[in-house]
Structure 1
Amino acid sequence: MLKRFGFMLLSGAALVALASGANAQEKQRAEVMHWWTSGGEAAAVKVFADRFDAAGGQWVDSAIAGGEAARAAAINRIVGGNPPVSSQFNTGRQFDDLVGQDLLADLSAVANEGGWAKVVPQAIVDAASRDGKFYAVPVNIHGQNWMFYNTAVLQKAGVSEAPANWDDFFAMLDKLKASGVTPIAWGGQAWQEALVFDAVLFGEGGKDLFLKVYKDHDEEVVKSEGFRKAVEAFGKLRNYVDPGAPGRNWNDATAMVITGKAGIQIMGDWAKGDFINAKMTPGQDAGCAILPGEQGYIMGGDVFVFPKLGGSAEATPVQALLAKTMLDPETQIEFNKVKGSIPVRTDVDTSKMDVCAQKGAALVKDPAKQIPSVNFLISADTVGQIQDAVTNFFSNPSASTDDFIETYAGIIGSAD
């Protein structure tokens, strides 16, 4: 009797093992390529992974540090015939060539079922679509013209509130410099410097000038007094960065603010994820403000594309499940709370998100305050040319404003 009972136990364990193996085989595996490797980013991507696993999938993480490196690796695999299930790109035109080569799945059926076009800002719908078809899943909205600051460091320097205009902004930097800290934690990479330039350009020239430059490709506006003022203000920032800035990663610059070595950082709100990860409360010890004032929200963000698998023109079941999971309302709130961004869906309740996120979400609800980033409006090649021009200008204190404007006008005039 004991032997028989032992056999029954063994058989039961074997059945459990077999059932577990069967369940593992049934799970829909999805290799996802991305560049979210900093502390806050890793915590955010885990939300997607956990929610996808809970929905019946199996997230296979493929993280590659650095946006350019990750995109290049994904493109090589897609073009080479060994695509991942999904891969991250920035919202905009970075995946144009993949669409042109007919290498991405059409997500329109999933998008129509989920009513994406009704709950996502039109500029982002346009950026995720080509010829009326969805080729990417937008997962967030990143504000690119944020100023994050260490409240205690500013208070010690005699600054009690965020600047409302450029005069106040430079006065704040002077006070920080006099207090002995690095005023601006500067990420000395081309994409970061171009991001700061765009924040200054919008802050100085407003929406009209910004869109005439990047949407209309108006060379004459580039040669205007408004554009010149922006260039001069940007160049003036050289006086407030430290010698170690060249080549610095954005998250290393964020760490300077977190540890009190620097006062502020001009960066997209993905930086907020690292403040949160460091147990600093956004809007309190980690201050936030749109630079300067609150004229509008330069909208960037992230999307995931879904390469064609097995010859299917549309998303496969595993791709559809992943896409639905990413845009699920609860997932959107949970993910963006950690990521530092705001939900791409405008129909979710953001009242329990941090005060910086609530401020951003309120701005985005007003179409007049929605400012598409350059990635929405010009090709990746043109973005690269602009980044090179900006970083060459900033890294050379003797660079001529006139020469920079002439170079910039030539790039914009030939933009596609």
Structure 2
Amino acid sequence: MFKARRKLTTIAAGVALVLGASAVAHAEPLKATVIHWWTSGGESAAIKEYADAYNKAGGLWIDNAIAGGEQARAAAINRIIGGDPPTAAQFNTSKQFHDIVDQGLLNNVDEVAAKQNWDKILPQPVIDSIKFKGHWYAAPVDIHMPAWFFYSKPAFQKAGITSDPKNFAELMADLDKLKAAGIIPLALGGQPWQEKITFDAVLADVGGPDLYLKVYRDHDVNAVNSPAFKNVLTEFKKLHNYVDQGSPGRNWNDATALVISGKAGVQIMGDWAKGEFIAANQSAGKDYGCLPGFGPKAPYIVAGDVFVFPKTDNAEAIKAQQLLATVMTSPAAQVAFSAKKGSIPVRADVDASKLDVCAQAGLTAMKDKSRQLPNAEMLMSPDLAGALQDVVTNFWNKNQSVDDAQKAFASAVKGA
């Protein structure tokens, strides 16, 4: 009797063990190693929204944050080529990842795009960046406008500035008032990409969208050699009079911190800077102002971030990639992410009513397709983008004449 009971107990235990193992196997989350460069306070809080959403959907997000966009992209490419690809990797909404598509190193996410009707809900500049050769090769996670004008309301008040600048000339006058009040007029991180953002803001607002497109999309050397483009270079260089001695090499978020503290008046930066204001418990419209250019029809440069999915034949990894693409582009996660990142959702069909006044201004701008202006990296090869960035940073940091800078810009465009 005892032996029979022990035998039954052993069998039951074995069945329980098998069932338990089966349950564990069934509940095994889809692991996803995700490379990205979001390491500042506001950025980390934002990416956590996607990580949490992925984990709740049955995945296991393995975070691989690498400071610096170039460094993170290089690490991702090295792992892909080296045979140890991450599940997903961040790139900008641009042509940055098109080479690895051409080399057959990415999986597409056509199935997710079809289910979510990306063709109908995404802005055309984003579609043009992520869909080509008939396939979708990236999941877009946000829209960032890289040329916002943020300003400290206390700094403006101290300088006696009572209204928003309505054009670039009024902005320059306000910078003079800030300087006279002993406030750093323009908080700039003196790094090449930040200098290029500042230049593009001037090109879009002073030169206008037609000149912007002739230069970046059409590679029109005559446009580069025009008096209008020379004026853009002149106005851009004038801004150098308003940065402080600590500008060279400064990180963008440290420049934002100067505006948050009221030590600086203005920063020209992408709306990801808003994540730093949010992390500092500052409210848009109350503690700081934000302008997406000047006037109700100001061009709205469309930029942002995407995640690509390296080639793999591993069935579980492919499932993880599909789940990541689904979660990252889902309405709830899009809104939660943008609320902390400072971006706006890439989808046009979400309830964004809880986003702040800056985001609402961005959403309004995106509804007017005539205001949508693709960012420069959507319109040119990475090599040309790099060459032009070198021209801009050389002009900004050296005692180079406007004429010589114009010639250098034309030479780079001509060589494209």
TM-score normalised to structure 2 length: 0.93
1:96 aligned partner, one-letter code: H
Distance 1:191 1:228 in 2: 21
1:44 aligns with one of 46, 70, 73 = 46
1:344 aligned partner, one-letter code: V
CA shift digits 1:234-266 (9 cap, x unpaired): 000110001111111100100111111111100
| Alignment partner, residue 329 of structure 2 | 327
2:72 aligns with one of 70, 73, 81 = 70
- SS of 2:310's partner is coil
Offset, 1:96: 1.5
What is the root-mean-square deviation in Å for CA atoms of aligned residues? Answer: 2.0
Distance 1:110 1:343 in 2: 17
1:347 aligned partner, one-letter code: D
2:213 aligns with one of 211, 214, 220 = 211
Distance 2:345 2:56 in 1: 21
CA shift digits 1:203-229 (9 cap, x unpaired): 011111111111111000001111111
Q: Is 1:253 matched with 2:250?
A: no
5+ residue gaps in structure 2?
Answer: 1-8
| Alignment partner, residue 92 of structure 1 | 94
Where do 1:280-319 residues align within 5 Å?
A: 280-294=282-296, 295-310=298-313, 316-319=318-321
5+ residue gaps in structure 1?
Answer: 1-6
| Alignment partner, residue 341 of structure 1 | 343
Distance 1:234 1:215 in 2: 21
CA 1:19–1:290 in 2, change beyond 3 Å: closer, same or farther? same
Distance 1:112 1:25 in 2: 28
Distance 2:25 2:317 in 1: 23
The answer on whether the counterparts of 2:34 and 2:63 sit within 8 Å (CA) in structure 1 is yes
1:148 aligned partner, one-letter code: F
| Alignment partner, residue 406 of structure 1 | 407
2:172 aligned partner, one-letter code: F
Distance 1:107 1:24 in 2: 24
Distance 1:377 1:132 in 2: 19
The answer on whether the counterparts of 1:87 and 1:305 sit within 8 Å (CA) in structure 2 is yes
1:30 aligns with one of 29, 32, 37 = 32
Q: Is 1:111 matched with 2:113?
A: yes
Between 188-197 and 105-114, the greater mean CA deviation after superposition: 105-114
Identity %: 53
2:132 aligns with one of 130, 133, 139 = 130
Distance 1:90 1:59 in 2: 21
- After TM superposition, what 4+ stretches of structure 1 lie above 3 angstroms from structure 2? 17-21
2:47 aligned partner, one-letter code: V
Where do 1:222-233 residues align within 5 Å?
A: 222-233=224-235
1:268 aligned partner, one-letter code: G
TM-score normalised to structure 1 length: 0.93
Distance 1:178 1:21 in 2: 70
Distance 1:24 1:324 in 2: 21
Q: Which has the larger radius of gyration?
A: 2
Offset, 1:348: 1.2
Offset, 1:291: 2.8
CA shift digits 1:280-320 (9 cap, x unpaired): 001221210123334121111000000011278x9811110
| Alignment partner, residue 142 of structure 1 | 144
1:401 aligned partner, one-letter code: V
The answer on whether the counterparts of 2:87 and 2:317 sit within 8 Å (CA) in structure 1 is no
The answer on whether the counterparts of 1:306 and 1:315 sit within 8 Å (CA) in structure 2 is no
Distance 2:293 2:116 in 1: 35
When the two structures are aligned, how many residues end up with a matched partner?
Answer: 401
Offset, 1:351: 1.9
CA 1:281–1:379 in 2, change beyond 3 Å: closer, same or farther? same
The answer on whether the counterparts of 2:32 and 2:317 sit within 8 Å (CA) in structure 1 is no
Offset, 1:350: 1.8
